[in-house]
Copies of this chain bind each other. A is one copy, B any other.
Amino acid sequence: MNIDMIRAADARLQGHKRVTPLLSSPFLDEIAGRRVLIKAECLQHTGSFKFRGAFSAISALSAAQRAKGILAFSSGNHAQGVALAAKLHGVPSVIIMPKDAPAIKINNTRALGGEVILYDRDTEDRDALGEAMERDRGLTLVRPFDDPQVIAGQGTAGLEIAVQAADMGISDAQVLVCCGGGGLTSGIATALAADAPKMRVCPVEPAGFDDTARSLVAGTHQTNAQTSGSICDAIVTPSPGKLTFPILKDLCARGYAVTDEQALKAIKLAFQRLKIVLEPGGAVALAAALFHGDALSHDTVIAVASGGNIDDDMFRRALEVKL
């Protein structure tokens, strides 16, 4: 994965991706004690940045291979991104989801054109199911982050940040990115290393699930003690990716971790001050910008708000939190 692949992905995405705005509020600047800009990827198609990587990967396939169809494993944002990107290419997609995934996510994925196959987490082998699909139907698997074309697609958000920040006269900033497997963070870091080399990219994770931050300290892949228990479900992953971690190690100095309560506060403040809807996993970078000021390195911080697929109950919970 390199900058040329990101530029090529960007060319393929022209007219399909949404160029999401860089938002701000004097009220948030005051809380953070510095200038804060928010890259609102919640406004991307399907409500998260995942559409970029999915479209990039699908558009990079040969027409013949693509026509056989796309396969993905996901119960969340990646599922919706792949389903819509496949639909826009006029090819079928099969999304393998756990039987106990929320009905709304299953319905959304179907409504976007995905063929949803449900499996039982306890009794069925997800990977075996997927391999059979690849073999029998000739489907191509699009991974959520450990795929060069997926990383390249996420990196197109970084190209936009470089242009939008330059338009505002900003070349020097700390860029905080919500980080699960590291696809978005490594893509943006690669793009900015080329187009805005004075910017410093740092991953942000939920406290207790900061495998990437600890891996950066250790220099080797670290894993989380637990695999569930955060409200930031979209970015809870066991360990950084095989392809993403070497990029992060090369380009990111350190990571940050925020609590669930800080993520909820960031959701409420984004509602009040930016008029955007964030999900917990999409709010951790903004939370770090607002509440970790002492540990930040730059006077200007760009926080990537990576997604907004939150259900009504969780949003109500965020509105109830005390600021």
| Contact of A316 with B by CB under 8 A | yes
Residues of B within 8 A of A312 (CB): 319
Q: Which of A6-30 contact B (CB under 8 A)?
A: 18-21, 23, 26-27, 30
How many monomers of this chain does the complex have? 2
Tally of A interface residues using CB under 8 Å: 27
Contact A111/B42 with A271-B315, A319-B316 known, Cβ cut-off 8 Å: no
| Contact of A135 with B by CB under 8 A | no
* Cβ-defined partner of A23 (8 Å) among B18, B27, B271: B18
Contact B277 A275 (CB under 8 A): yes
State the Cβ distance, A199 to closest chain B Cβ, in Å. Answer: 21
Residues of B within 8 A of A278 (CB): 275
State the Cβ distance, A164 to closest chain B Cβ, in Å. Answer: 10
Q: Which of A308-323 contact B (CB under 8 A)?
A: 308, 312, 315-316, 319
| Contact of A157 with B by CB under 8 A | no
State the Cβ distance, A165 to closest chain B Cβ, in Å. Answer: 14
A261-303 interface mask toward B, CB cutoff 8 Å, 1 = contact, 0 = none? 0000000000100111110000000000000000000000000
State the Cβ distance, A102 to closest chain B Cβ, in Å. Answer: 13
A234-260 interface mask toward B, CB cutoff 8 Å, 1 = contact, 0 = none? 000000000000000000000000000
Residues of B within 8 A of A315 (CB): 271, 319
Residues of B within 8 A of A276 (CB): 43, 275-277
Distance in angstroms between the alpha carbons of A21 and B20 in the assembled complex = 7
Contact B308 A43 (CB under 8 A): no
| Contact of A112 with B by CB under 8 A | yes
Distance in angstroms between the alpha carbons of A276 and B315 in the assembled complex = 13
What would 16 A/B residue contacts be, using CB atoms closer than 8 Å? A18-B21, A19-B21, A21-B21, A26-B84, A27-B111, A40-B43, A42-B275, A43-B274, A271-B315, A275-B276, A275-B277, A275-B278, A275-B308, A276-B276, A277-B277, A316-B319
